[in-house]
Amino acid sequence: MAERVTRSKTGKTPSKPYNPGFVETPGRKKYTRKSGLFESTPEPFTEYTETNGKALNGNGLANGNGHANGNGLENGNGHANGNGHANGNGNGYAAGATMAAQAEKAEEARASDLANPAIDTAPRFDFGGSFGVSAMMAGFPCLMYYMYIGAFFYDGKFPMPTQGESWQAFLHHLWTLVKTEAYPSNRAWTIYWYFGMTQMAFYMLLPGIYRKGKPLPHLNHQQLPYYCSGMWSFYTSIVLGLVLHFTGVFKMYTLIDQFGPIMSVAILSGFLCSIIAYVSAILRGATIRMTGYPIYDFFMGAELNPRLFGILDFKMFLEVRIPWYMLFFMAMGTCLKQYEEYGYVSAQAAFLLLAMYLYAGACSKAEHLIITTWDMYYEKLGFMLIFWNMAGVPLSYCHSILFVALHHPDEYQLSPWLIGALTVAYLGVYYVWDTTNSQKNQFRQEERGVVDYRTTFPYFRYGRLKDPKTISTKHGNKILCDGWYGKARKIHYTCDLFFALSWGFVTGFKSPFPWFYSAFFTVMIIHRAIRDIESCRRKYGDAWKEYEKMVPYLFIPGVF
């Protein structure tokens, strides 16, 4: 077998000495700003070099831990055999060699196409194609309104027709509630977009660091630079939010009191920004991997890396700053509201605030590590990512927070010992989740020659593996099989699932809506795990089989 277990090396000595800490530096000097709103190819580009002593192959650097972040290269030798005996005068040898050379070039071109996210060589229609994504675009906003009405006007129960009420009258009643209670008021537009524009300004103006993304095959393996200021943005936002609350300028629990109008604004904004992104990409000729089916392309996206002023990457901005910061501030608003109304904060409210802080904080401190993930490298910016981050995540995952905010603590009281045990377990699982993701993404960066390591709070030493065990693949890259990934192949999914279930469990079982995220995430993560395994087996072949033998457990070490 060609694959073998080795120890990875970090390669050349970096140009600057290793610093176990970090210094945030304003990042505006490396860009020449432009006036255009969207820029798919910011300047200057940085060419990929042999930073780790190995030349880049046709598919760029694959995801080092075995979680495929690209199409992968299919096997195919493509070498035609010319035996040189065709015409008896020796010219057959030349002809045979020419045929072989042509076949080899054709195979190389085919392999390059397969690894190139700019070329959709075999369109795959996820989510049921145009019909499926149409149903999702229409159905999910309706589901969000239905859960909102249930949470606010049906005491957390499923809205259903009362005895003797016709379905027509019931649906008319729901529509009336949407029009009157969730009308997108001027105040809601102001709150939502002031928050969004402030986060954009923080992204570009606060101190941060630069990191390079994965080499992009459709740009001759050039690497886009990313400006990462998430940590400073998060803590600056917290300080600003508390100042606004305690000065009375903006009470944080307004996010709960105005939830319906804000949700409507978020839904409308998601559609509006999706349309702008799609039309803009077409008009500027920045489309990539289009299928020719407008509805499906609108949902999946038309452009890979749209940017504002060459520095603000919209995908990274939307993935971190909008959804998780909103969830954190809703949890904070709930705690502040309880303190004003009851003189204390319930254990459940405090637990949810801690959970949202840890998640939003992790996304912020490790923002520089997400730039090599599938969403950043391959997924286009379409309705799926725009709407989901602007409206879907913050305003549907929040129902555990809403239930706690809308009910007296006596209605969902659990044993203090149970809440304490859940908190301790949550912190332990968070440690595993944080260090697992750090090990994976730090390994990816060091495989590309990036050895800078940040010690942002909360810092865990186990987040970086020195000289980890790996399995070499036929593509020249490696599968990480050390640290937490030496114990279970999808252990980070297990942690995410624990978080989702905890958010529902802490509210009890009186309302189904706090369990929406738990149920949704369970189905999604199982489907994603199956898809990941199939992709890795297809891409890495014998190397992945060896990894499965070495690490037989999928989710829980020693159990499953």
Report the range out of 58-62, 71-75, 332-336 with the highest average pLDDT.
Answer: 332-336
Place of tokens 């457990």: 553
Is the pLDDT at 10 greater than 50? The verdict is no
pLDDT tens digits along 375-410: 787 888 999 999 999 999 999 999 999 999 999 998
Return the amino acid letter for 20. Answer: P
Distance between CA atoms of 89 and 408, rounded to whole angstroms?
96
Task: Decide if pLDDT at 507 tops 70.
Answer: yes
Higher pLDDT, 461 or 116: 461
The answer to whether the beta carbons of residues 493 and 557 sit under 8 Å apart is no
Q: Which residues of 388-413 are buried (b: 16+ CB within 10 A; e: fewer)?
A: bbbbbbbbbbbbbbbbbbbbebeebe
* Confidence band for 479, pLDDT divided at 50, 70 and 90: confident
pLDDT exceeds cutoff 70 at 460: yes
In this predicted structure, the answer to whether residue 254 has a pLDDT above a threshold of 50 is: yes
| Contact criterion met (CB below 8 Å) for 3 and 473 | yes
Chain-centre distance of CA 370, in angstroms? 7
Given this model, what pLDDT does residue 263 score? 98
Residue by residue, DSSP assigns 375-443 as HHHT---SHHHHHIIIIIHHHHTTHHHHHHHHS-GGGG---HHHHHHHHHHHHHHHHHHHHHHHHHHHH
Prediction pTM value: 0.76
Task: Check pLDDT > 80 for residue 412.
Answer: yes
Q: β-strand 469-472 against 5-7: which pairing, if any?
A: antiparallel
Closest CA to 504 of 395, 399, 416: 399
As beta bridge partners, residue 225 has 212
- Residue 143 pLDDT > 90: yes
- pLDDT greater than 90 at residue 559: no
Which residues contact residue 175 at a Cβ distance below 8 angstroms, ignoring those fewer than 6 apart? none
Tell me the per-residue pLDDT of 211-243, one tens digit each, with 9 for 90 and over.
888 777 777 778 888 899 999 999 999 999 999
What is the average pLDDT across 187-210? 95
Least confident residue range of 78-82, 111-115, 188-192, 538-542: 78-82
Q: Please determine, for residue 77, whether its predicted confidence score (pLDDT) is greater than 50.
A: no
Confidence at 87, pLDDT banded by 50, 70, 90: very low
Q: What is the mean pLDDT of residues 99-109?
A: 57
* Phi and psi angles of residue 226, each rounded to the nearest 5 degrees, phi first: -120, 135
